[in-house]
Structure 1
Amino acid sequence: MSAVIDKPDSLLYDGADWDYDQIKRVYDAIEDIALKDMGLNVYPNQIEVITAEQMLDAYSSIGMPLMYKHWSFGKHFARDEMLYRKGYRGLAYEIVINSSPCISYIMEENTMTMQTLVIAHAAFGHNHFFKNNQLFQQWTDAEGILDYLEFAKSYIAQCEDRYGHHAVERVLDAAHALMNQGVHKYPKKRSLDLRLEQKRERERQEYQEQTFNDLWRTVPKVAIGGNRPSKSVSERKKLLGLPEENLLYFLEKKAPRLEHWQREILRIVRHMAQYFYPQKQTKLMNEGCATYTHYTILNEMHRRGMISEGAMLEFLHSHTSVVFQPEFDDQRFSGINPYALGFAMMQDIQRIAENPTDEDRYWFPDLAGRGDGMGALRDAWANFRDESFVLQYLSPHLMRKFKMFSVRDDAEDPYLLVENIHNERGYRGIRKLLARQYDLGFLEPDIQIVDVDLAGDRKLILHHRVTNGVLLDESDAKAVLRHIANLWGYEVQLVEVSALSDAILKEHAVTAPSGIGG
């Protein structure tokens, strides 16, 4: 005689299969908890169900819909598909787009429990972070990005039809090579409105056509290095706005041999680089926020009887895999898992706010005992980036839990030195060193355009300020310099100088090419 287990009436779903009605019921339940219980503030949501192949395609085009075509996207697709088909890697459960509406892609292969997790994680966790973090508010235009992507894809396709696939690809190759050095790192007074970019492009094109006079082609040109007097170094630097760390911006505005359409492509790639810049600075916080959000919501759904014990076990199995942190001597160790540390820090902030210890009160006098853990988290999510977040909130309690210590590795010393352990000075040292690992100013090379004599030989001079003793890889440096020279049209020189003494450590140079601009 078999026992019959009745399904509770309060369950939103039962089993692994899903349909769109169940997705809608689950979404409504998640939204109620996220907005009313957690106080989240999100963009309108758009949930898209896609196949595994479509997810691979989204991977290859850096997760963006309506992306323009480039050979590198196809290369990434072929690599990821091969690894996935052979079972060497899995796929993300979701991809989420920082836009309004916020677009979340969920795979049709997911079980209903995984769809629930993904909606809570992406459509509410990431969505809230995108909308409220001050870096995203300063640097991104969530309402205009989808229209701009459509314009960019159409514009580049038109350029390929008019100027040829190879010519457009050369510009895109060069622009992609400079994306990390193609961002403004400090906010400007004027916020970017991507919805107006298409209108501005038309205005720039019309102005160029109205002011073009074919008679100028017959005027004799002054030879480079001719009789025209060169300005002093300080004068030309002031005139050109040097030094300039945004290489794409400078080349877009000042490269003497580029055509209008080539400058517009540089502008498109530069806007894409700027769009992703806040995400590079908030990986730890963004994933920590989303992981904490899905964990809180699904636990509350289980408490209310909305999901079954089996669904909860499936969720916990996936969640614990995501936040797993291998030990330093584990073969799987590849650094600190941002999901693990981010989630642990979010839980720790709530603990300090609601149930502090004497140690917490000493280290966090303004946070400890304030009583509103969720409010403290919303404040942190809004006002910090990874580097400052770690400096502000990483606690001795969490450092002990993660068994953190630091080792000094001096290339001139045959021995390693354990420099910071679990004491007050060690806690401060560990926190400072860990925060530095999230500082893009430390992780990415500081390369700036420092001089060019437009009335002389037009040689573009760049400086790499070496702050940590690590020089650029010579082959990579030469390859990128060739891309810069193709855009600039004349010789390019890169000088690596010590940030401490200004001593010249190494020089790289690429002679004048034929130039993309012809």
Structure 2
Amino acid sequence: MDYSIKELMYWNDKIEKIAKDFGLNFYEQEFEIVSYEEMLSYEAYIGMPSRYPHWSFGKAYERTKTLYRYNLTGLPYEMVINSNPCLAYLMKENTLLLQILTMAHIYAHNDFFKNNRLFKEGTNADYTIDMFKRHANLIREYIKDPSIGYDEVERVIDAAHALKLQVKRTIYNGKDEETQDSKYKLPEEDLLLFIIKYSDIEDYKKTIVEMIREEALYFIPQIETKIMNEGWASFWHYKILKELDLPQGLYLEFIKRHNDVVAPHLGGLNPYYVGYKIFEDLERRYGIKKIFEVRDVDRDSSFIRRYLTLELCQEMNLFEYVKRDSEYIIKEVSDDEGWKEIRDTLSNNCGMGLVPYIQVTDVERDRTLILEHIYDGRELLLEYAEATLKHLVELWGHPVILKTQFGGKEYRIYCDEKKSIKRGV
């Protein structure tokens, strides 16, 4: 580290003032400087300073560590948590300029967390850290309990992880509707909530499912706004650093680093790039007030559907490709006809649009659970669907039937209590 903490504090004070002058409105910001080994750990645990033990986090740590060791991936320059105060980690191996750019980037993320409606109405930043610590402590208590133990806890967490995104798709305000004990609330898209309310598994298992659900609801606004959030942070770090009166050496590195962040990915989609270009275009066409309005109310799907234009599609050279047999072919390009299909495909396949929409539609007398896949033209991956049903049986305790479509025909997958699979039309 070729700079001092005092230097970082100096630049932080300047960044914070400029950000406020631009109209950004954020929680109190706290930074922690960590080594790359610590950043690996935080990345594996999704940035949380305390989280429950589970093999999947260790697997993520070892995978990232191996890729980083062989120079097959980089580490994030920063990691920021939607909490109040907002906690962010800076990797001490970063250059001074990279720390400056990263701090500006973080203040914009902080502003987005505080003001976007999905975060305002769907999360409680005041209690984020406490929530994860409480969950970690409770899981450790269950593991130490001789009547439960690690294997049982792991089995429940595995099953809940497989279903963790099968929860509410609308903004969650923490107030679930009450239903009569003798009746089911149907149809129900929140599979984890249905298990908590109506399954007959042990109470400690329901508590674990409830914790996984609570954490999933915390992360969903981030899943739903990845392009907007990164685009917003990139847009503002650029504006802030342009106002910092950087020394020439730092300024040249700033331009290079910024261009690296918002560079297009060949054959893929860089959310920083797409979000940055849309916000830049909105400011040019409508003014600064408009982008704050968009920040407040949109999510990625609406952001792209409303504001990704023909001109932007052409500038970013967007195209859609599909797999036919063993080859990928280009389906649409950004011309006068194809750009709308590209826009709509991108809008439908971001955020929770990538997660199959499954509902509980009935419970039979023998407690067999009936699920329906809301088919939108995209078929389920059969291998994953069957594996997920086995996890659902683990939590429900009774057979499960999933109705879906393959080849234009209704298709049923049945999983019994022994987790044996039967399938057919």
* Deviation per residue, 1:477-513 (Å, 9 max, x gap): 22111111111112122121489x9x52x22222214
Matched positions, count: 414
**Cα pair distance change 1:126/1:264, threshold 3 Å:** same
Equivalent in the alignment of 1:271 = 214
1:507 aligns with 2:419: no
* Deviation per residue, 1:402-427 (Å, 9 max, x gap): 233556x5969x9968656533x554
Q: Secondary structure at the match of 2:183?
A: helix
Mapped to 2, the partners of 1:417 and 1:88 lie a distance apart of 28
Equivalent in the alignment of 1:283 = 226
Q: 2:113 aligns with which of 112, 122, 130?
A: 130
Deviation, structure 1 residue 111: 1.2
Q: Secondary structure at the match of 1:391?
A: helix
Q: Secondary structure at the match of 1:463?
A: strand
Mapped to 1, the partners of 2:173 and 2:151 lie a distance apart of 38
Q: 1:31 aligns with which of 16, 25, 31?
A: 16
Q: 2:272 aligns with which of 305, 317, 339?
A: 339
Equivalent in the alignment of 2:352 = 440
Equivalent in the alignment of 1:451 = 362
**Cα pair distance change 1:439/1:64, threshold 3 Å:** closer
Q: 1:249 aligns with which of 182, 185, 193?
A: 193
Equivalent in the alignment of 1:489 = 397
Mapped to 2, the partners of 1:510 and 1:188 lie a distance apart of 30
Q: Aligned runs of 1:62-141 on 2, under 5 Å? A: 62-122=46-106, 124-141=107-124
Equivalent in the alignment of 1:368 = none
**Cα pair distance change 1:75/1:321, threshold 3 Å:** same
Mapped to 1, the partners of 2:289 and 2:130 lie a distance apart of 34
Q: 1:465 aligns with which of 374, 378, 381?
A: 374
Mapped to 2, the partners of 1:188 and 1:404 lie a distance apart of 34
Mapped to 2, the partners of 1:136 and 1:445 lie a distance apart of 23
CA contact 1:93–1:107 (8 Å) conserved in 2: yes
CA contact 1:43–1:102 (8 Å) conserved in 2: yes
Equivalent in the alignment of 1:361 = none
Q: Which amino acid aligns with 1:310?
A: G
Q: Which amino acid aligns with 2:77?
A: Y
Which runs of 5 or more residues in structure 2 are unaligned?
420-425
1:300 aligns with 2:247: no
Equivalent in the alignment of 1:157 = 140
**Cα pair distance change 1:169/1:190, threshold 3 Å:** closer
* CA-atom RMSD in angstroms: 2.6
Query: What is the percentage of aligned positions where both structures have the same residue?
Result: 37
Q: 2:301 aligns with which of 361, 370, 387?
A: 387
Q: 1:310 aligns with which of 249, 263, 266?
A: 249
CA contact 2:332–2:339 (8 Å) conserved in 1: no
Using the size of structure 1 for normalisation, the TM-score is 0.75
Q: Secondary structure at the match of 2:359?
A: strand
**Cα pair distance change 1:64/1:137, threshold 3 Å:** same
Considering only CA atoms, is the larger Rg found in Structure 1 or Structure 2? 1
**Cα pair distance change 1:466/1:156, threshold 3 Å:** same
* Deviation per residue, 1:352-405 (Å, 9 max, x gap): 12xxxxxxxxxxxxxxxxxxx222211111111111111222233322312335
Equivalent in the alignment of 1:475 = 383
**Cα pair distance change 1:86/1:512, threshold 3 Å:** same
Equivalent in the alignment of 2:164 = 179
Using the size of structure 2 for normalisation, the TM-score is 0.91
Equivalent in the alignment of 2:285 = 352
Q: Secondary structure at the match of 1:494?
A: strand
Equivalent in the alignment of 1:22 = 7
* Deviation per residue, 1:267-294 (Å, 9 max, x gap): 0000111101111111110000000111
Q: Aligned runs of 1:37-52 on 2, under 5 Å? A: 38-52=22-36
CA contact 2:31–2:88 (8 Å) conserved in 1: yes
